[in-house]
Amino acid sequence: MPTSQLPIALRFSLSYKHLRSTIGLRIIHFPFFTLQKRRKYISTQKKGKRPRINDQIRAPEVLLVEEDDAKKLSLQQALDLAKEQELDLIEVSPKAKPPVVKIGDFGQYLYQLSKKERKQRAHTKQTEVKTLRLSFRTDRHDVDRLIDRAREFFEDRHLVKFVIQLRGRELTNKSYARDKLVGIVKSLEDVSEVESEIKPQGKQFIVILRGKRREKKEEVKVEKKDI
């Protein structure tokens, strides 16, 4: 088979070997830059570790915390007390010396922890301004749908901005656009307050509302009358 009909890579290999054998020259090999393998992304967020319970606790001595009392016990003594009550021994503060433990239902304890974390995330959640747009001719059904959407945003502690866009001849009837926003504000006055009053802004009217602060329900204590 003629050399010209061979693949290019094979022709190069044959010519390279022929050059070394016939001429006797030493071919210097230059290093090539190797591509570094892409490292897999490793998340820096640490996975939440569950607290140790029962036989997972390693400290020989623990501080058992009960309702109004705390006492130092050996790990085995604390485990025996938990077994007597048919509950778990939960390590609530592993870094303390000795570690702090309590006796309780582990499933219920995890539920209370997750509930507390959700509450903390709700308090730290950033407030956003949600914009709801409607036109001069938006009918009542669509307005009611936007009002319901605004109520959902207030539950998430967001601000809501209503915008009415005016076009062409609608600019001559600005009072109608203002009245439309007034009606929306009145429909939401049970759950919201005016953050920024109704005002024109170019070819549109806007109003910004914020949800009312939730008042803490006072616990009503019923006094038992002596019979």
Residues 6+ apart with CB under 8 A from 118: none
Residues 98, 81 within the same domain:
yes
Q: Which helix (H) or strand (E) holds 91?
A: strand 88-93
Same domain flag for 109 and 155:
no
Which pLDDT value is given to residue 144? Answer: 93
**Domain-terminating residue out of 90, 121, 152:** 121
CB-CB contact of 194 with 164 (8 Å): no
Residue 99 belongs to a domain with what CATH number?
Answer: 3.10.20.80
> How much is the pTM?
0.43
Identify the domain containing residue 104 by its residue range. Answer: 54-121
- Whole-angstrom CA distances from 154 to 13, 70, 201 are 73, 44, 24
Answer yes or no: is 224 within a domain: no
Shared domain check, 140 and 180: yes
pLDDT tens by residue, 164-207: 999 888 888 888 889 999 999 999 999 999 999 999 988 899 99
Other beta carbons within 10 Å of 157: 16
Clarify whether residues 146 and 106 are in a common domain: no
How many structural domains comprise the chain? Answer: 2
Asked if 169 and 116 sit in the same domain, the reply is: no
Q: What percent of the chain has pLDDT over 90?
A: 33
Q: Is residue 48 part of a domain?
A: no
Residues 77, 110 within the same domain: yes
- Four-point Cα dihedral 137, 207, 185, 144, nearest 10: 40
The whole-angstrom separation of Cα 91 and Cα 76 is 14
Task: Kindly state whether residues 102 and 170 are assigned to the same domain.
Answer: no
Helix extents (H) in the chain: 8-23, 75-84, 106-124, 140-155, 174-187
- Give whole-number Cα distances, 225 to 43, 219, 221, 222, in Å: 61, 19, 12, 9
pLDDT of residue 227: 42
How far, CA to CA in Å, does 102 sit from each of 51, 57, 108, 224? 11, 12, 13, 34
Report pLDDT for 169: 87
Residue 221, in any domain of the structure: no
- Give the model confidence (pLDDT) of 109-134 as tens digits: 888 888 888 777 766 656 789 999 99
**Whole-number pLDDT of residue 6:** 53
Does 102 share its domain with 61?
A: yes
Q: Where among 105, 121, 137 does a domain terminate?
A: 121
Whether residue 11 is predicted with pLDDT greater than 90 in this model: the reply is no
CATH number for 205: 3.30.110.10
Q: Look up residue 142 and give its two tokens.
A: 């669509």
Angle between helices 174-187 and 140-155 (to 10 degrees): 50
In the prediction, which pLDDT does 24 show?
53
Q: How far apart are CA 75 and CA 91, in angstroms?
A: 11
Among the candidates 121, 141, 157, a domain finishes at 121
Six token digits for residue 210: 């914020």
Question: What token pair was written down for 16?
Answer: 């390279």
Say yes or no to pLDDT of 56 above 80.
yes
Residues 108 and 151 in one domain: no
Residues 135 and 206 reside in one and the same domain: yes
Confidence of residue 44 (pLDDT cuts 50, 70, 90): very low
